[in-house]
């Protein structure tokens, strides 16, 4: 007869089988019935302070623990009950169905086709449009075309990424600018209204929103009349940039241009000297930075693009006295801005 011990069902009430380590002896099976009961705890619990209640079988006796997270209504538990942790990585609470009474967590995030379409029609600046991968319907293609015409960055992503940001997305999510953009002429007009020579900051290839926010903050403190950023391959006024700016976006106008090189040509026509930053430029601590000035700040890795650098009237650099050859883009921009402030005699 075949041995069917492995197919036998464990009798009700059986405990865990353990094998004590007996020196020079056979392994003898023993049934442990006083096994602590496993329970769910929250991420806020201190595991080292947990009481270890004994398992008491099918009785209705309660588990007593001094820990605060097991207070009422969880302080009276018995076998068969489900402990639901109030906080922590595992919760057995039914989540609200996607779209039922939910709103995007950030006012800079638009979810769904109709809100995005209406924002584009109203001329609200859209920084980035996330579109679910796959075939698009006629209405979705229309929104895609409108976003591209408005200069928004369109990115195809998996639906799982959209679900993680906001479940009821209808295949589209859009990030809008934290504040409205202005025109380049508005920056020149602001300088003229104050009776001052234009002092502008042009950013070429700054893709980190934290660097963008920090530069805007320094520009506001240094009394610049505005910051100019390109539409493509550059960070926009996202919530991260707004946070890094620490309120400066409420006072510092930002112009977004389709082509930075064309903007440089327009500034030259208005009598503004365009000064780029380069490793082989003249010493910024000794250079004459007075008069109408537009500082061009490049990215940390690539610096200013070749064509943009050629359009600059001159280049400057900061002397490096240590072993490292470069500064963070926002730090270098802040130092150069205050060199302009010093040159103006303030």
Over the stretch 249-294, which tens digit does the pLDDT of each residue have?
A: 889 999 999 899 999 999 999 999 999 999 889 999 999 999 999 9
The pLDDT of residue 166 is above 70: yes
pLDDT of residue 139: 82
pLDDT of residue 66: 40
Q: Which of 331, 334, 345 is nearest to 221 (CA)?
A: 334
pLDDT of residue 37: 56
Residue 107, burial from CB neighbour count under 10 angstroms (0-12, 13-18, 19+): exposed
Q: Which of 179, 299, 181 is nearest to 241 (CA)?
A: 179
pLDDT of residue 234: 85
Measure the CA–CA gap between 336 and 318, rounded to whole angstroms: 8
CA 304 to chain centre: 25
The CA-atom distances, in angstroms, between 283 and each of 174, 277, 340 are 43, 10, 13
Q: Which of 58, 61, 40 is nearest to 50 (CA)?
A: 40
Backbone φ/ψ region at 163: left (φ over 0), alpha (ψ -120 to 50), beta: alpha
| Domains of the chain in sequence order | 109-176 (3.30.1330.30), 184-319+326-343 (3.40.1280.10)
Going by pLDDT thresholds of 50, 70 and 90, the confidence category of residue 170 is confident
The pLDDT of residue 188 is above 60: yes
Tell me the pLDDT tens digit for each residue of 27-74.
555 555 555 555 554 444 444 444 444 434 444 433 344 443 333 444
pLDDT of residue 197: 96
Going by pLDDT thresholds of 50, 70 and 90, the confidence category of residue 124 is confident
According to DSSP, the β-strands at 16-18 and 30-32 are: antiparallel
The pLDDT of residue 152 is above 60: yes
pLDDT of residue 260: 96
pLDDT of residue 49: 44
89 or 318, greater pLDDT = 318
The pLDDT of residue 242 is above 50: yes
Measure the CA–CA gap between 250 and 165, rounded to whole angstroms: 27
């Amino acid at each position: 007869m075949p041995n069917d011990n492995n197919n036998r069902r464990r009798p009700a009430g059986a405990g865990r089988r353990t094998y004590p380590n007996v020196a020079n002896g056979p392994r003898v099976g023993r049934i442990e019935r006083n096994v602590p009961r496993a329970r769910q705890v929250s991420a806020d619990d201190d595991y080292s302070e947990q009481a270890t209640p004994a398992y008491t079988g099918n009785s209705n006796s309660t588990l007593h623990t001094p820990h605060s997270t097991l207070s009422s209504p969880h302080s009276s538990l018995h076998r068969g009950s489900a402990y639901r942790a109030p906080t922590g990585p595992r919760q057995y609470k039914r989540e609200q169905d996607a779209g039922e009474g939910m709103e995007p967590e950030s006012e800079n995030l638009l979810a769904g086709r109709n809100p995005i379409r209406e924002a584009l029609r109203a001329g609200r600046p859209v920084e980035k449009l996330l579109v679910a991968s796959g075939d698009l319907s006629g209405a979705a293609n229309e929104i895609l075309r409108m976003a591209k015409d408005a200069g928004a960055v369109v990115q195809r992503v998996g639906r799982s990424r959209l679900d993680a940001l906001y479940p009821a997305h209808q295949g589209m999510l859009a990030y809008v600018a934290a504040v409205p953009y202005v025109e380049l002429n508005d920056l020149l007009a602001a300088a003229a209204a104050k009776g001052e020579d234009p002092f502008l900051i042009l950013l070429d290839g700054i893709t980190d929103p934290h660097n963008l926010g920090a530069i805007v903050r320094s520009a506001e403190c240094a009394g610049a009349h505005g910051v100019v950023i390109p539409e493509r391959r550059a960070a926009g006024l996202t919530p991260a940039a707004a946070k890094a700016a620490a309120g400066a976006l409420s006072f510092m106008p930002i112009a977004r241009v389709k082509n930075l090189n064309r903007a440089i040509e327009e500034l030259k026509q208005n009598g503004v000297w365009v000064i780029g930053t380069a490793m082989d430029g003249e010493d910024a601590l000794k250079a004459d930075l007075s008069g109408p000035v537009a500082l061009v700040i490049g990215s940390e890795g690539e610096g200013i693009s070749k064509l943009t650098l050629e359009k600059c009237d001159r280049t400057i650099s900061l002397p490096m006295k240590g072993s490292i050859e470069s500064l963070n883009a926002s730090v270098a921009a802040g130092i150069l801005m205050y060199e302009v402030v010093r040159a103006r005699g303030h």
